[in-house]
Amino acid sequence: MTSKTKSQTPGAGDIEQLLARRRQFMGSQLYMFYDPPLHLMRSEGVWLYDAKRRVYLDAYNNVPHVGHCHPHVVEAIARQAARLNTNTRYLSDEVLNYAERLTATLPAGLDVAAFVNSGSEAVDLAWRMAKAHTGQHGAIVMEEAYHGWTDAVDALSPAGKAERALAPHVRMLMAPDSYRGPYGPEVADRAMRYASDAERAIESLNAAGLRPAAFIVDPGFCTNGILEPLPGYLALIFEKMRAAGAVCVADEVQTGFGRIGSDMWGFGVHGVTPDIVTMGKPVANGHPLGVVVTRREIMESFMSRTSFFSTFGGNNVACAAGMAVLDVLEREQLQASAQQVGEHLKAGLRALQRKHDLIGDVRGMGLVIGVELVTNRKAKTPASKEAKRVLNLMRDHGVLVGYEGHAANIVKVRPPMPFKIEHADQTVDAMDKALRAL
Amino acid sequence: MTSKTKSQTPGAGDIEQLLARRRQFMGSQLYMFYDPPLHLMRSEGVWLYDAKRRVYLDAYNNVPHVGHCHPHVVEAIARQAARLNTNTRYLSDEVLNYAERLTATLPAGLDVAAFVNSGSEAVDLAWRMAKAHTGQHGAIVMEEAYHGWTDAVDALSPAGKAERALAPHVRMLMAPDSYRGPYGPEVADRAMRYASDAERAIESLNAAGLRPAAFIVDPGFCTNGILEPLPGYLALIFEKMRAAGAVCVADEVQTGFGRIGSDMWGFGVHGVTPDIVTMGKPVANGHPLGVVVTRREIMESFMSRTSFFSTFGGNNVACAAGMAVLDVLEREQLQASAQQVGEHLKAGLRALQRKHDLIGDVRGMGLVIGVELVTNRKAKTPASKEAKRVLNLMRDHGVLVGYEGHAANIVKVRPPMPFKIEHADQTVDAMDKALRAL
């Protein structure tokens, strides 16, 4: 439509030419996984195929929650896209049926849903709801938390930022990290000790003339390096936050929809019920959808003060996709499978730990597991360079994993939910080979 | 999955029962079009079908840009969803091909694209880019502007808010409204006069210790009541804003993709080139997608300061849907059609104006047209109640339109792009009948 020069479409295998086009049309600084990166063409279940028809076991992506291109989800999207796709200014069955079914998976009291298009939007909306409902304007999050990228949510995401760069309305809590934190497994009352950091954060806000509107937490503490639940910790924190007038938000973008095995939702394993739940990534298997579920009084006090409306939020196709994900979760009993396969995987990785000094710790729940690499088990020196090499070596062995933690030394295994025992074994085997080859 | 009570799925026609379920699962205050609202079941091209199989001409929705459920777009979504849907941490052809083709529709200099999931996210990202690039923190927007709902973008959207409720970093410009504003068509230098408001806004920011990071404008001035371009106005504003160090953002969520007929982009008709362009609603025919296109130096300075990444942004399916929209726009020559049908429609509405005193003004470009209703042509008293009745009466005659403007007295005609001469005639006829029946 204009006279701009058109680049040649390159041959499928030409990574350098693709990277040049990427710099040309998307800028030079967009981060990529693996070196060299993968040029993907096709996917199915737990498998990804590149342009050279090489197959990779996907042990990393949680967005294709019930498996890449699951036929039931694809069919739901195709059918609904051909029939009707509009907004919630009209009545339509898809959004009502989905809102009813989704809220039914949550504890009583978490009864009403609002629909948006991503996890970032869900947390942004939760934050607006919290401020409107409480009339307060401070926020408390975990150190190293990441909740999304919108301007407001970026401010609530200390990951990768220096503490002095924190917005003036945000305070961080020390992560309840029994491996690296000041209170290890030998400290019997460590839940109480970690939780005492809440008073400091609340008082620090108060000293700045602020009170907390929201406490926001990923119940899997993934960006803190994937921490196993510390019994009682989150209940204590919720109690203190509510006493300060804040609402408690569980960001289930990482842990939700059965991934942790023992519970449908990450907060369940902590024995708490949040005031707001935010959902993203896995909710519709990669179709853009974000959801906020909350208590009726919070929704009403927010909506009575605003005219919130998301054009695409709650569209018929996204709701059909979300519904199909719930169908597959039930039919294929993926939560129970995540529990079983996750235990097997963790046992396999712990066996590796006995063979390789580099593995300092193995932890996680269900199908979200972290393998912390350290160059010295006593000093727990982060093995960041080694972790990067392990990722690339495992890729060479046909298994894709990621990393986590602020030193990027924790190998992250967080596969699609139809990950079976044999896939867990293949992952352990590839990691074993990678660690031997270091 | 829990013991919550399941409501009965109602018969298709039971609006009251659907409304009760909506209150139960989505809250009581979500605004709906029309009274009683429509219960939609199916759509095709410019037609919507309700649960009673009644058919409506859609003269309002711009999201299904190339027509509801266009088979080419549906096929692209279904094909890609079955093949691969992942993120931009990997190389994939769909996002590169789409970024190249989309940027080629824009003037030289607007060369790089970032992908998100909605217009709100696009404006939120543009705002972050503007702040990062300029190092400034103020914003200037039009009075009554609406750019989206995220926390940051809500602050940039004065629509529906009292002036005292504006955020301290935001200033508004007087709309260049030749019908209602202080300078009418009889004032030869009115572009200069309206544009002089920019100095006031910039100085007001300066007085608060702020400088503008961004000026954000919808080139169709839709929430100002859909204003026709005032020649020279936007060029003057851009000049002043750039002199103050701001970047200029064209929010093409309403006017983009050929809707205004004469140009592919709304800014084109004003003879200006923005620094950032934001896209939403029509970009992928209702599949959630938002895009920010900007100058290379702005993208690089933003990305060098942040680690921005959108999980769903630039996913293969959304890019395939966006590409299919560009295909249909070209093949069916919908921009030229919007120009021709838009002129015919405007002429028909102006003929109605001669018959009905209630119509104070008819204005717009291409297929975005406003019909301003007034109870007194001299005093220009907004006919808000009448506009609401006209909407419902036209619905009874099988034609769906909306409203616009802070007094909600401007009937908005903004149909899908395959709107033909006969659909324009049907719309004019339905409005004639509605006005007679008032």
Chain-chain contact of B92 with A40 (C-beta, under 8 angstroms): yes
Using pLDDT thresholds of 50, 70 and 90, give the confidence band for residue B307. confident
**Does residue A127 contact residue B53 with C-beta atoms inside 8 Å?**
no
Q: What is the mean pLDDT of residues B266-276?
A: 98
Total residue length of chain A: 438
Question: What would the DSSP string read from start to end of A331-386?
Answer: HTTHHHHHHHHHHHHHHHHHHHHHH-TTEEEEEEETTEEEEEEEEETTTTEE-HHH
- Non-local (6+) Cβ contacts of A188 within 8 A are none
Chain-chain contact of B77 with A81 (C-beta, under 8 angstroms): yes
Which one of A6, A108, A151 has the shortest CB-CB distance to B127?
Answer: A151
Question: Which two tokens mark B269?
Answer: 């008709």
- For B100, half-sphere exposure in the C-beta direction (CA atoms, 13 angstrom radius) is 17
Cis bond leading into B36, ω under 30°? Answer: yes
pTM (predicted TM-score): 0.97
Q: Which residues of A touch B149 (CB under 8 A)?
A: 125, 308-310
In angstroms, the CA A124 to CA B310 distance is 14
A333 touches chain B (CB under 8 A): no
In angstroms, the CA A295 to CA A316 distance is 24
In angstroms, the CA B77 to CA A405 distance is 36
Chain-chain contact of A286 with B29 (C-beta, under 8 angstroms): no
Tell how far CA A6 is from the center of its chain. 38
List B39's β-bridge partners, or say none: A91
Q: Which residues of B touch A120 (CB under 8 A)?
A: 121, 310
Which one of B19, B160, B315 has the shortest CB-CB distance to A286?
Answer: B315
Interface of A with B in 238-277 (CB under 8 A): 264
Using CA coordinates, name the residue in chain B closest to A99: B25
Q: What is the CA radius of gyration of chain A?
A: 22
Which one of A18, A81, A114 has the shortest CB-CB distance to B69?
Answer: A81
- How many CB atoms lie under 10 A from the CB of residue A108? 11
A107 touches chain B (CB under 8 A): yes
Interface of A with B in 6-65 (CB under 8 A): 6-7, 9, 15, 18-19, 21-22, 24-33, 37-43, 48, 61, 63-64
In angstroms, the CA B164 to CA B167 distance is 8
**Does residue A1 contact residue B105 with C-beta atoms inside 8 Å?**
yes
Give B338-369 pLDDT, tens digit per residue: 999 999 999 999 999 999 999 999 999 999 99
Which one of A2, A84, A127 has the shortest CB-CB distance to B41?
Answer: A84
Q: Which residues of B touch A40 (CB under 8 A)?
A: 84, 86, 90-92
Whose CA is closest to B1, among A254, A265, A218?
A: A265
Amino acid at A218: D
In angstroms, the CA B248 to CA B129 distance is 11
In angstroms, the CA B63 to CA B71 distance is 16
Check residue B165 and give its pLDDT. Answer: 83
Domains and CATH numbers, chain A: 15-66+333-437 (3.90.1150.10), 72-331 (3.40.640.10)
One pLDDT digit (tens) per residue for chain A, 438 residues: 344 544 444 444 589 999 999 999 999 998 899 999 999 999 999 999 999 999 999 999 999 999 999 999 999 999 999 999 999 999 999 999 999 999 999 999 999 999 999 999 999 999 999 999 999 999 999 999 999 999 999 999 999 887 778 999 999 999 999 999 999 999 999 999 999 999 999 999 999 999 999 999 999 999 999 999 999 999 999 999 999 999 999 999 999 999 999 999 999 999 999 999 999 999 999 999 999 999 999 999 999 999 899 999 999 999 999 999 999 999 999 999 999 999 999 999 999 999 999 999 999 999 999 999 999 999 999 999 999 999 999 999 999 999 999 899 999 999 999 999 999 999 999 999 999 999
Minimal C-alpha gap between A65 and chain B (Å): 12
Q: Which of A72, A75, A85 to mutate to test the interface with B (most CBs of B within 10 A)?
A: A85
Amino acid at A271: G
B84 touches chain A (CB under 8 A): yes
**Does residue A347 contact residue A427 with C-beta atoms inside 8 Å?**
no
Using CA coordinates, name the residue in chain A closest to B296: A27
Interface of B with A in 206-245 (CB under 8 A): none
ipTM: 0.96
For residue B13, pLDDT over 60 is answered with no
Chain-chain contact of B64 with A83 (C-beta, under 8 angstroms): no
Q: Kindly state the DSSP code that residue B199 receives in the 8-state scheme.
A: H
Which one of A91, A104, A281 has the shortest CB-CB distance to B4?
Answer: A104
For residue B3, pLDDT over 80 is answered with no
Which one of A37, A74, A78 has the shortest CB-CB distance to B90?
Answer: A37
The chain-wide mean pLDDT, for chain B, equals 95
Amino acid at B24: Q
Cα four-point dihedral sign A303, B26, A62, B312: negative
Using CA coordinates, name the residue in chain A closest to B264: A1
Check residue A13 and give its pLDDT. Answer: 52
Question: Which two tokens mark B156?
Answer: 């940039």
In angstroms, the CA A37 to CA B4 distance is 47
Q: What is the mean pLDDT of residues B220-232?
A: 97
Q: Which of A14, A60, A151 to mutate to test the interface with B (most CBs of B within 10 A)?
A: A151
Beta carbon pairs, A and B, within 8 Å: 325
